[in-house]
Structures are given as structure tokens and as C-alpha cells.
Chain A
Amino acid sequence: AQSVTQLDSQVPVFEEAPVELRCNYSSSVSVYLFWYVQYPNQGLQLLLKYLSGSTLVKGINGFEAEFNKSQTSFHLRKPSVHISDTAEYFCAVAYSGAGSYQLTFGKGTKLSVIP
């Protein structure tokens, strides 16, 4: 069975500071990994995804994540955050179902950017 752990439920950070949101997963098979962002009162939007190939994945809004198979991690990073990055971030692992892929989500990390 797949599971996703986001170790930090809330992360406050000052504007223009770097940030890392942590994600660990467990899976017995090859995985696809995703980070989604949810702004207040909106649905989830894909930030980036790892399917195969390079372990460093770049996404929208200056975010990137690194897939580390040995540590079963997929941490999200941004070198300099902006006020507009305040949102909730969800890590997810996909596994193959019947004809499609299901996602298992972490509990989410609320990023608060302080002016």
C-alpha cells in the first residue's frame, strides 16, 4: 500500500527567504510523484511531477523538487518565496489502478509567507 507523509503541517517563512517542504512516501512499486498547490477557496493545481528521468524536477512559480529513491523523499524547494506563495501544498503518490492512476495525498503543509 502507498502512503505519503508530510512532516510539517505549517511552515512560516519570511518573504524572499528559501523554503523546503518535506515529503516522504512509502510504496512497494515504482512511483509517480506530484506536488499540488491549493490557494484559499480554490481547487488543487499541479506544481510539478516526477514520472521518470532526471531526479530534479522543475515546476511552475519557481518551485523545484528532488526525487530521492534511497530516502523515499520528494521534498519541494523554492530559493526565494513571495507573498503570493502563501497556500497549502500537497504531496501525492500515484499508483496504477484499473485503467488509470489513483493518487494518495499527504495531509498538506500550510505555507505562510510573512512580509
Chain B
Amino acid sequence: DAGVIQSPRHEVTEMGQEVTLRCKPISGHNSLFWYRQTMMRGLELLIYFNNNVPIDDSGMPEDRFSAKMPNASFSTLKIQPSEPRDSAVYFCASSPLNEQFFGPGTRLTVL
């Protein structure tokens, strides 16, 4: 298995632009998590899905952030419009039950 796949690995954009981050979980895992990692705040859970259904989005910073999971093999995290304070590494993780497997992350820089 290739593990959790995230794309792009790096994204540089300008303030106000729309950004879409993508994640392909490990096949057979029924839960998917989106995290954000910054120096100031550490690792924060943004949202998680179980069987493609969003369960808890209380970590999503504001309405500019949205996440979807249209099927068991794909999820997106969208930021519209992006702001410089959104600059961070965004991780996707999938889980079969209690252990989470992390992707390599997307490093987002908003200028």
C-alpha cells in the first residue's frame, strides 16, 4: 500500500486566492482526519470524517475553510479566500479504528 497520499506537497499562493488540498486515504480505512500544524499552535485537528460523513468540524477556523469527502478514496480541504495566516503544513490522516496513519503533508504558503 502506498500509504496516505496528499497533493500538492507544496503550494504557494497569493492572498485572496482559492486553495484546494487533496488527500487519498489508505484503502479500507473508514475514518479520515485533516490537521493543521504551525509553530505557534502545534498540531490542530480541523475536521474528521467517518464513512465519508463529516463528524466533527469544530476545529475548522472559520467559514473560509471547507472540507468534503465525496467517496471513500478522496477528500479535499478548500480555503477560499486564503489569507497569510493560513500558512501552515496541512496533514491528512486515515484510520481503520484507533491508530492514525499520516500523509506527508502539504506545505501552504500564502503571500
Contact = CB atoms under 8 A, between A and B. Distances in A.
Contacts of A82: none
Interface of B: 4, 30-31, 33, 42-43, 45, 48, 50-51, 55-56, 91, 93, 95, 97-105
Interface SS of chain B: strand
A84 interface: no
Given A51-B98, A105-B42, A100 B104 contact: no
Contact of A101 (B97, B101, B103, B105): B97
Contacts of A106: 42
Contact of A102 (B43, B48, B91, B105): B48
Contact of B55 (A42, A90, A97): A97
Interface of A: 32, 34, 36, 42-46, 49, 51, 90, 94, 97-103, 105-108
A103 B45 contact: yes
A102 B56 contact: yes
Nearest to A44: B102
Contacts of A43: 4, 91, 102-105
